[in-house]
Amino acid sequence: MIKQFTTQLGLVLLLSACGGGGETSSSGDNAEVAPPITEPESALNLPEEHFNYANIALPTHYTENNFPAQSQFQHAAIEFDNTPVDNPVTDAGATLGRVLFYDKKLSANGTTACASCHLAEHGFSDPRVQSIGFDGELTRRHSMSIVNARFYFSGTFFWDERAATLEEQVLMPFQDPIEMGLILAELEEIVSNQTYYPALFNDAFGDESISSDRIAKALAQFVRSMVSTTAKYDVARSEVLSPRVDFPGFSAQENLGKDLFLLPRENENGDSANCAGCHVSEAFVGPIPNGPVLRTTATVNGLDAISTDDLGIAETTGNSNDSGKFKAPSLRNIAIRPPYMHDGRFANLEQVIDHYSSGIQLHSNLRAPLLDSNGQAFQFNFNDEEKQALIAFLNTLTDHEMLADEKYSDPFN
């Protein structure tokens, strides 16, 4: 059973180039008025019963930390949950958020939605190096994936972590002069003018009142519901008690890649580092603090020796020690969302792995483990077989089932 909400998008009257009052260019009594052409109607199709957003079952490897005791940086993903007490995910709230996320009317010229830069088929990221705003201008940075946003330890968002919460983050693209080009009062007015929103707000919040605060809460609920738990990794992981043992459901190459990702790798000086130190838990999210909690837990990954036109998190904190640091998104669905890094400089995973293998640069804010005991950049020095194994493992993090789930799809026809 489907509830259908319909809005008329527009009416276009086709006139002859020389007919003046709607007539064709034919002369005589048989002249005809060109029939009006209407654009397709925009229909909002939602299920009679809500999809499940609030009670998504998390696998045990999200709720328990089964890494060995010596893996000091590892925790269960659930420990990083940034859901605020005043905005728990509800089915009705996330349903409203889904509609807001896909609604192109919520931009200055009705052409751009949140989903325009976060495409499900690309892991809720953008295949372009820079996304295209409502008026054709390019955004400053590459569009970050939002899957597993619920498990970002710091709770901060954007590459430069300028949004203190997800609720704050989701309103910023609407107000960006390149992305969607509105002010909050205009956003509220556009939402209020759509016939389908009052019922959705009433369902989500108990009355039909529309505000930017409620828009933010609904969108944040929808984004937090985007949890990846059904990738090949999860299926194979369910067969074993620890992430460190071979998975029966993996090929030899995939298990090798998993070991390369998880286990420490030593250089000639006896220094060691691993991928999992900066992509922690089995949600594969950004690093966590190993000591006092500072403004950011992000690290420099040696993309450049000197930060020039983009200082990263330092642009938010004003702290030069944060120059060159950028937020790390979850690695879930990483294989289907090139290009990579904040500026999209790497076109494929091969280039990413080459960077960590031999291209890490000695930035002034580079720190251990990517800075070795000799004060040099730590290089992983993967051979060709290891590089291919890492790529095979990263492919197991693609969650095709989650990305194809109707509850995360465009509700507009």
Average pLDDT (77-96) is 97
Q: State what percent of residues in the chain have pLDDT above 90.
A: 83
Q: Minimal CA–CA distance to 97: which of 22, 34, 167?
A: 167
Q: How confident is the model at residue 34 (pLDDT cuts 50, 70, 90)?
A: very low
Higher pLDDT residue, 41 or 96?
A: 96
Report pLDDT for 288. Answer: 77
Residue 146 pLDDT greater than 80, yes or no: yes
| 168-223 residue pLDDT tens | 999 999 999 999 999 999 999 999 999 999 999 999 999 999 999 999 999 999 99
Residue with tokens 């071979």: 246
Residue 37 pLDDT greater than 90, yes or no: no
| 303-344 residue pLDDT tens | 999 999 999 999 999 999 999 999 999 999 999 999 999 999
CA 315 to chain centroid, in Å, comes to 21
Q: How confident is the model at residue 381 (pLDDT cuts 50, 70, 90)?
A: very high
- 105: CB partners within 8 A, 6+ apart: 190, 194
pTM: 0.89
Q: State what percent of residues in the chain have pLDDT above 70.
A: 88
Which tokens is 382 given? 């993967």
Cα separation, 371 vs 361, in Å, equals: 10
**Are 138 and 130 a contacting pair, CB within 8 Å?**
yes
Average pLDDT (256-284) is 94
Looking at residue 9, its amino acid is L
Report pLDDT for 388. Answer: 98
Q: Is the bond into 339 cis (omega within 30 degrees of 0)?
A: yes
3-state SS record for 114-175: HHHCCEHHHCCECCCCCCECCCCCECCCCCCCCCCHHHCCCCCECCCCCECCHHHHCCHHHH
Report pLDDT for 151. Answer: 96
Report pLDDT for 1. Answer: 42
